[in-house]
Amino acid sequence: MSQDRPIGVFDSGVGGLTVLQALRDRLPDEDFLYLGDTARLPYGTKTAATVRRYALNAANHLSAGNIKLLVVACNTATSYALDALAEASPMPVVGVVLPGVRAALATGATRIGVIGTEGTIRSDAYQQALSTLDPSIEVAATPCPLFVPLAEEGWGDHPVTDQIARHYLKDLLDWGAETIILGCTHYPMLTASLQRVVGPKVRLVDSARAVADAVIVEHADLVDVAAGGRGSVHIQLTDASDRFLRIATSILGVEPEHLTVVDIDGVA
Amino acid sequence: MSQDRPIGVFDSGVGGLTVLQALRDRLPDEDFLYLGDTARLPYGTKTAATVRRYALNAANHLSAGNIKLLVVACNTATSYALDALAEASPMPVVGVVLPGVRAALATGATRIGVIGTEGTIRSDAYQQALSTLDPSIEVAATPCPLFVPLAEEGWGDHPVTDQIARHYLKDLLDWGAETIILGCTHYPMLTASLQRVVGPKVRLVDSARAVADAVIVEHADLVDVAAGGRGSVHIQLTDASDRFLRIATSILGVEPEHLTVVDIDGVA
């Protein structure tokens, strides 16, 4: 098994580029192959069976790209399909839930809130992982369906987003959440609004950096932490509308190079 | 060709049920087969090529259900794919754009605004149809990407929706739009907010009723306008999450009977 093969990163769309950025910061010599299933997003409103089918299509497609490690940079796919992906994939699979949970526990909070898509919250993946790792922790979770469209609209620092966030987060704040896990890779784009609404004392945990740490710690044999910065990034999308390219550019800070459109419907 | 076959109605999701309801009101004896591509929605943010591929999958699937007429109850699919569907389909195809345009012209307005998804507005379908049917009309169009998620969240009569609508519609109102076409089958769910924002003098045109009129006038040989009310409705969705079932129930006023989940990926 050669270490020279790329690391695969998969998301329903372009929100997972926040995770790719964190991985590149820590592993600048690695090559990355990113797949965003933009033709079928969002995953967060769809059923477990559909999300699992899509995630397996994506993993099979990336597997054919000879990746050495698969990072599932989508909370809904991790929540519904991590077990199925780990079972079906020849390479190790890292999800976003456990790293985010560990980062939240590291804040020392005893009341932890989780926000995410309807699918992620309904799956109970975060709630179960928190309770398993530390049964003394109190957990409350709430879905925030409008946050992904607001992030995609570029309204991460907008009065309307503040107002919607106050609506969604009211119960978590009244309950006394000390730390809130951003359980969706789009949500870091809303940090300005969210931090304003929760106030300076509540910690917002973004799992992107925690995922990069997990990859380095758990797969030290597979990754090269040298800092040469010679790594490449190839981005594949299942649909490349101007909208997604605009969001991708905003997350990456530059227009994506090496971008191709691929069809993964039914890839087995 | 038997008149007894069902009328097919297709939408990216459940917004097209507003059109199905209008059709049932006018044609209570007809049988309907509705297909919502909820596994791959929304279409409004995706490219023309992807929307065309999905629409052809859907039409092929419905065609196998032996429909006598296909109503494309999705503005994005109509805007990007009506020609391709008409060419590929053995049955007549009716879209939502032309009926909506005729209804808007019938208001007597000289300045007509169009709102819709990014895809619908970018396709220029409404703007071209208005200018072709009446070159003296002035037209302005604006995409409203957050309206579909707001409708799906059930916030059709919510202060946040008013605020977002004021933001999106400001230029159209400053310009002096007298009539505004709701160029998305989800938007009738926002009528309370939208009418408040545009004021009582601006007419909002919802194409659902106009589509039913077009079917009756243009395909009188195919449809039965008797009022027996013995028609059936079968609903097929490509993904049946609680979320979509909740919205469907809210539009239909009752829980959908005869609901099945189908896979149309790549149906040729």
pLDDT in tens, B118-163: 999 999 999 999 999 999 999 999 999 999 999 999 999 999 999 9
Q: What helix, strand, coil percent values describe chain A, rounded to 5?
A: 45, 15, 35
Question: Same domain for A55 and A115?
Answer: no
With CB atoms and an 8 Å threshold, state whether A145 touches B160. no
- What pLDDT is attached to residue B268? 80
Q: A194-253: per-residue pLDDT in tens?
A: 999 999 999 999 989 899 999 999 999 999 887 777 899 999 999 999 989 999 999 999
Same domain, A115 and A203: yes
- Gap between the Cα atoms of B229 and B222, Å rounded: 17
Other CB atoms within 10 Å distance of the CB of residue A124: 14
The domain that holds B170 is classified in CATH as 3.40.50.1860
Identify which of A106, A251, A146, A223 has the alpha carbon closest to the alpha carbon of residue B146: A146
Which is nearest to B184 in space by CA: B108, B91, B264, B76? B76
Contacts of A190 in chain B (CB under 8 A): none
> Are both A106 and A137 inside the same structural domain?
yes
pLDDT of A172 reads 98
| Residue where the block lists tokens 């609004």 | A193
Residue B1 in any domain: the answer is no
Q: Please state at what angle helix A207-218 crosses helix A17-26, rounded to 10 degrees.
A: 50
Gap from B149 CA to chain A (nearest CA, Å)? 6
What average pLDDT does the segment B187-214 reach?
96
Q: How many residues in total does chain B contain?
A: 268
Q: Is the peptide bond before A42 cis (omega within 30 degrees of 0)?
A: yes
- With respect to residue B266, please indicate whether it lies within any of the assigned structural domains: no
List chain A residues with pLDDT less than 50. 1
| In a shared domain, residues B170 and B231 | no
Looking at residue A4, its pLDDT comes to: 87
Could you say which of A207, A224, A240 is where a domain stops?
A: A207
pLDDT digit string, tens, across residues B79-89: 999 999 999 99
Domain that holds residue B183: 98-207
| Structure confidence at residue B1 as a pLDDT band (50, 70, 90) | very low
Total number of domains constituting chain A: 2
pLDDT in tens, B170-182: 999 999 999 999 9
Question: Taking all residues of chain B, what is their mean pLDDT, rounded to a whole number?
Answer: 95
The shortest CB-CB distance from A47 to any of B145, B149, B241 is to B241
- Within a domain: A2: no
CB atoms under 10 Å from CB of A2, counted, come to 6
Residue type, B155: W
What would the mean pLDDT of B200-225 be, rounded to a whole number? Answer: 93
The verdict on B57 and B76 lying in the same domain is yes
What's residue B266's pLDDT? 81
A267 assigned to some structural domain? no
Pairing of strands B233-237, B259-261: parallel
Mutate which: A37, A38, A43, A47, vs B, most B CBs within 10 A = A47
The residue of chain B with its CA nearest to that of A242 is: B47
Tokens of A158: 């907008």
As a whole number, mean pLDDT of residues B186-210 equals: 96
Domain boundary, last residue among A162, A186, A207: A207
Number of alpha helices (DSSP H) and beta strands (DSSP E) in chain A? 11, 10
Residue B2 has pLDDT above 80, yes or no: no
Same domain for A62 and A132: no
pLDDT confidence of B65, banded at 50, 70, 90?
A: very high
Residue A2: what pLDDT? 59
Contact: A241, B163; criterion CB under 8 Å: no
Partner residue facing B266 (CB), from A152, A239, A266: A266
Whole-number percent of chain A with pLDDT over 90: 90
Note whether residue B268 is domain-resident.
no
Contact yes or no for A68/A6 (Cβ under 8 A): yes
* Residue B150 and residue B107 share a domain: yes
Same domain assignment for residues A90 and A170? no
Q: Are residues A84 and A136 in the same domain?
A: no
Q: How far apart are CA B27 and CA B22, in angstroms?
A: 9
Using an 8 Å CB-CB cutoff, list chain B residues near A149: 145-146, 148-149
User: A223 and A201 in one domain?
Assistant: no
Tell me which amino acid residue B11 is.
D
Q: What is the rounded (10 degree) CA torsion for B102, B157, B75, B91?
A: -80
Picking from B39, B50, B145, the nearest residue to A50 by CB comes out as B39
Strand B7-11 versus strand A93-94 pairing type: unpaired
Same-domain pairing of B197 and B129: yes
- pLDDT for the residue numbered B225: 81
Distances in Å between the Cα of A32 and the Cα atoms of A93, A218, A236 are 15, 18, 11
